[in-house]
Amino acid sequence: MAYSARLKAHADKLGRDVKIALVGAGQMGHGFGCQVDRMPGLSVVLVIDIDPVRITNLYKDLGVTDPVISDDKAVIVEALNAGKRVGSTKSDLVAELPIDFVVESTGVPEIGAQITYSSLLAKKDVAVLNVEMDVTIGPLLHKTAVDNGVIYTVCHGDEPIEAKVLVDFARDLNFEVIAAGKGKNNPFEPLSNPDTVRERATAKNMNPKMLCSFTDGSKTMTEMVALSNTTGIPLSKRGMYGPAATVKTLQNVFAPVEDGGILESKGVIDYCTGDVAPGVFVIVKSDSPYINHEMTYLGMGAGPYFALYRPYHLASIEAPISVARAVVDRESSLFATHLISEVVAMTKKHLKAGDKIDGIGGYTVRGYADIAADARRDNLVPIGLIQNAIVKNDVPVGTLLTYDDVVLDSNSLIVRLRKEQDEAGLTYAN
88 and 227 share one domain: no
Tell whether 428 is covered by a domain: no
Q: Is the pLDDT score of 307 beyond 90? A: yes
Q: Which domain holds residue 245?
A: 159-313
Nearest residue to 340 (alpha-carbon basis) of 178, 228, 238, 263: 228
Helix (H) or strand (E) holding 228: helix 218-231
User: What's the start-to-end Cα distance of the chain, in Å?
Assistant: 40
Q: Does residue 429 belong to any structural domain of this protein?
A: no
Amino acid letter for position 175: F
Q: Are residues 270 and 168 in the same domain?
A: yes
- Would 90 be classed as within a structural domain? yes
Identify whether residues 299 and 401 lie together within a single domain.
no
Q: Is residue 335 part of a domain?
A: no
Q: Are residues 59 and 84 in the same domain?
A: yes
Residues 309 and 267 reside in one and the same domain = yes
Is the pLDDT reported for residue 333 higher than 90? yes
Q: For 203-244, how does the pLDDT look when each residue is reduced to its tens digit (9 = 90+)?
A: 998 899 999 999 999 999 999 999 999 999 999 999 999 999
The answer to whether residues 126 and 166 belong to one domain is: no
Q: Name which of 328, 333, 362 is nearest 346 in CA terms.
A: 362
Check: CB of residue 23 under 8 Å from CB of residue 115: yes
Q: Is the pLDDT of residue 324 over 70?
A: yes
70 and 190 share one domain: no
Beta partners for residue 255, in sequence order: none
In a domain, 430, yes or no: no
Alpha helices by DSSP H, listed for 286-358, are: 289-297, 320-324
Q: Are residues 177 and 150 in the same domain?
A: no
Average pLDDT over residues 78-104: 97
The pLDDT score that the predictor gives to residue 155 is: 96
Q: What is the pLDDT of residues 177-206, one digit of tens each?
A: 999 999 998 888 999 999 999 999 999 988
The pLDDT of residue 351 is above 70: yes
Predicted pLDDT at 187: 83
Query: Given CA atoms 243, 245, 251, 253 in this order, what sign does their dihedral have?
Result: negative
Whether residue 171 is found in the same domain as residue 261: yes
Report DSSP letters for 350-399, one per residue. Answer: -B-TTPBP--TTSSSEEEEEEEHHHHHHTTBPBGGG-TT-EE-S-B-TTP
pTM comes to: 0.96
- Please indicate, yes or no, whether residues 81 and 179 belong to a single structural domain of this protein: no
Instruction: Tell me if 334 is assigned to some domain.
Output: no
CATH number at residue 57: 3.40.50.720
- pLDDT tens-digit readout, 111-158: 999 999 999 999 999 999 999 999 999 999 999 999 999 999 999 999
The total number of structural domains in the chain stands at: 3
Strands laid side by side in the 280-285 sheet: 268-272, 176-183, 280-285, 306-310
Q: In this predicted model, what pLDDT tens digit does every residue of 273-294 receive, in sequence order?
A: 999 999 999 999 999 999 999 9
Among 119, 192, 172, smallest CA distance to 361 is for 192
Asked if residue 222 is part of any domain, the answer here is yes
> How far, in Å, are 128, 211, 215, 221, 305 from residue 360 at the CA level?
17, 11, 12, 12, 36
Cis preceding linkage at 320, omega within 30: no
For residue 1, pLDDT over 60 is answered with no
Residue 420: in which H helix or E strand, if any?
helix 413-423
- Residue-wise pLDDT for 44-55, tens only, equals 999 999 999 999
Residue type, 311: P
For residues 205 and 302, membership in a common domain is answered with: yes
What's the rounded Cα separation, in Å, for the pair 14 and 69? 27
Residue 378 placed within a domain: yes
CATH of the domain at 348: 3.90.1210.10
Are 305 and 402 in the same domain? no
